[in-house]
A and B are shown apart, each in its own frame.
Chain A
Amino acid sequence: MSPALINANPVVYEKKERPVRTRPGDAAFDEYATELIDQLEDPEHPYSLEELKVITEDAVEVDDKRSYVRVTFTPTVEHCSMATIIGLCLRVKLMRSLPSRFKVDIKVAPGTHATEDAVNKQLNDKERVAAALENPNLVDMVDECLTPSFE
């Protein structure tokens, strides 16, 4: 992995005040899922992914009844090769935190990445993800991204 940061000066947004949701059933899981994602660190920057606008709450859809979660994320740079790593981190985090009944789809926000179809296909190919997670170097990188840093 190249030591040079690909996106050295990200734009940092203020964390959005979370509105109180009134939809029964979904509300608790929406918050739960978002909080999990909150704890993720962008592999290149210590800010959380939400602060970097990689994930916003609207981009996490949860359907508890159907056991379905969809995460749409915006990589910080259009050609960001880290998009696959970020997507993988999201998948691992959700896998480790949600009950096994949940089906998770992770997509790059349309129009935000040069090869979004290719990235989406890889991120949602279960066999590719499983093989990637057997690679110790990749697992170390993912674990590092998922460890919250204490300021």
Chain B
Amino acid sequence: MPSLDQQTFKLKELQSLKGHTDRVWSLAWNPASGSNGVPAILASCSGDKTVRIWQQRTPSSTSFHCKAVLEDRHDRTVRSCAWSPSGKQLATASFDATTAIWEEIGDEFECVSTLEGHENEVKSVSWNASGSLLATCSRDKCVWIWEVLPGNEFDCISVLTGHTQDVKMVQWHPTVDVLFSCSYDNTIKVWAEDGDSDDWRCVQTLSESNSGHTSTVWALSFNVTGDKMVTCSDDLTIKVWGVDIIRLQSGDVNASWCHLCTMSGYHDRTIFSVHWSREGIIATGAADDAIRLFVESEDHSVDGPSYKLLLKKEKAHTMDINSVQWSPTGNMLLASASDDATIKIWKLESMR
């Protein structure tokens, strides 16, 4: 079986999901769905102030229908959504400065909790691997960490300052409780709990001086093992970073991330989203309406890993792409969300 970088692929459009009446900002696949006979579930959030839940009609069909519309809760754009690891709860972050927690009760989704505290627009929300912690970030330059308690209680345990501008996204590491944030200040910050004092602090900043980005960093994503991370930016590049994962997993929060590779010259407009699949394919969604896929190249003539463009899908949407997300079930399904108010489901197929 030839390696990924030796095969030719095409991205086949399976379905276009319509319903939102304004741009779709973010997508999240429910991690407890899409396998073992459970139909796949996808959440989307929009400038129309609603969140939509889409479900596959049957586990084997690829046809999604809109199962629910979560409305009348946020009174401004819903910018980001994230499922808890158990798949039982959905957190939605809004420009209205709140984060709502939803649960499916019977046939309906109900808002079971509201997290307040940010001074202005909340841009992103992320659950840690065990579902015990939640992180949010905002234009107020802060990152908040919340502890998930029984009875749908969420207690703020830390307000992290350090970014000098709008924080665009937060993402927990897939295996250890280390938090990452990226910002309009062009940096990526790594936050961890200080062993002794239980205080959360910034343990590393990836800036221009350590081969970092030279403009707003919009998103970050980890590979399945968590030893690599990819970031995307308004500077038209995506960068891959690596860490000594053994050190990190042994509890050394100071295990530092270093720059491995910069992919430049592939994008000519802002890259809003990047997502690393379990099989190792990096997908990007950009402001030129295109989806691009990258894989690690088997070419070992350079120091360290290098990545090559696997395919470019031009005009994937008719407007900017804001989010690309691989389905977690390893069936090569990719979802994309756009300013054109649609979500598209794609299948990556190998051409023989």
Interface residues, chain A, CB within 8 Å of chain B?
A: 100-101, 103, 121, 125-128, 130-131, 134
Check A125–B216 contact: CB distance below 8 A.
Answer: yes
CB under 8 Å from chain A, chain B span 309-327? 318-320
A130 to B76 CA separation, bound complex (whole angstroms): 10
Check A125–B77 contact: CB distance below 8 A.
Answer: no
Q: Counting CB contacts under 8 A, is B292 at the interface?
A: no
A121 to B217 CA separation, bound complex (whole angstroms): 13
List chain B residues, Cβ under 8 A from A121: 184, 215-216
List chain A residues, Cβ under 8 A from B234: 125
Q: Counting CB contacts under 8 A, is B344 at the interface?
A: no
A128 to B218 CA separation, bound complex (whole angstroms): 12
Check B123–A127 contact: CB distance below 8 A.
Answer: yes
- Least CB distance, B55 to chain A, in whole angstroms: 28
Check B318–A100 contact: CB distance below 8 A.
Answer: yes
- Least CB distance, B137 to chain A, in whole angstroms: 12
Given A101-B318, A103-B288, A125-B184, the answer on whether A134 and B166 have CB atoms closer than 8 Å is no
Interface size class of B (residues with CB under 8 A): 20 to 34
List chain B residues, Cβ under 8 A from A126: 270, 287, 320
A131 to B168 CA separation, bound complex (whole angstroms): 13
Given A130-B77, A134-B77, the answer on whether A103 and B269 have CB atoms closer than 8 Å is yes
Check B95–A100 contact: CB distance below 8 A.
Answer: no
A147 to B225 CA separation, bound complex (whole angstroms): 56
- Least CB distance, B186 to chain A, in whole angstroms: 10
Check A103–B47 contact: CB distance below 8 A.
Answer: no
List chain B residues, Cβ under 8 A from A125: 184, 216, 234
A47 to B166 CA separation, bound complex (whole angstroms): 35
- Other A-B pairs, 4, CB within 8 Å; known A100-B339, A125-B216: A101-B318, A103-B269, A103-B287, A131-B95
Q: Counting CB contacts under 8 A, is B139 at the interface?
A: yes
Check B340–A100 contact: CB distance below 8 A.
Answer: yes
Check A131–B139 contact: CB distance below 8 A.
Answer: yes
Check B319–A134 contact: CB distance below 8 A.
Answer: no
- Least CB distance, B64 to chain A, in whole angstroms: 24
Check A128–B318 contact: CB distance below 8 A.
Answer: no
- Least CB distance, A70 to chain B, in whole angstroms: 12
List chain A residues, Cβ under 8 A from B166: 128
- Least CB distance, A98 to chain B, in whole angstroms: 12
A100 to B95 CA separation, bound complex (whole angstroms): 23
Given A103-B287, A103-B288, A121-B215, the answer on whether A131 and B121 have CB atoms closer than 8 Å is yes
Check B269–A134 contact: CB distance below 8 A.
Answer: no
List chain A residues, Cβ under 8 A from B123: 127
- Least CB distance, B328 to chain A, in whole angstroms: 26
- Least CB distance, A101 to chain B, in whole angstroms: 7
User: B49's closest neighbor in chain A, by CB?
Assistant: A134
A131 to B25 CA separation, bound complex (whole angstroms): 13
CB under 8 Å from chain A, chain B span 105-133? 121, 123
List chain B residues, Cβ under 8 A from A131: 77, 95, 121, 139
List chain B residues, Cβ under 8 A from A128: 139, 166, 184
A100 to B288 CA separation, bound complex (whole angstroms): 12
